[in-house]
Amino acid sequence: MKMTLVIDTDDASGIDDAFKMVSIMKQRRGTNRYVGSTPLTIGKIALIKALRSFAKEQAKRDLEEPKTAGNLREAKLFAERLIANDGKL
């Protein structure tokens, strides 16, 4: 069965009801995770190393391209590379 939900973003109770409906359907299907989600665990030391690597990368980029360094897109791309490598740098 396929279903299309149309949600009015101005109706807060409607959004809550839609979420409840989807949650019930998920429970009946027997899945506990969201489709496409992958649990990511990263240790404290690995996180510190990742942050240090990101800071070094941004410092180097700041010299080359000052306008793009440190923006949200760069952080997102770094995080995606980290996730694609299973948390390994």
Q: What is the pLDDT of residue 33?
A: 60
Residue 26 CB neighbours (<10 A): 14
DSSP 3-state of 74: helix
Tell me the domain boundaries of the chain: 1-37, 44-84
| Residue 78, Cβ density class (10 Å: 0-12 exposed, 13-18 middle, ≥19 buried) | middle
Q: What is the pLDDT of residue 86?
A: 67
Q: What is the pLDDT of residue 75?
A: 81
Per-residue pLDDT for the chain (89 aa), expressed as one digit of tens each?
Answer: 677 878 888 888 888 888 888 888 878 877 666 555 566 677 778 878 888 888 888 888 777 776 666 677 878 888 888 778 766 65
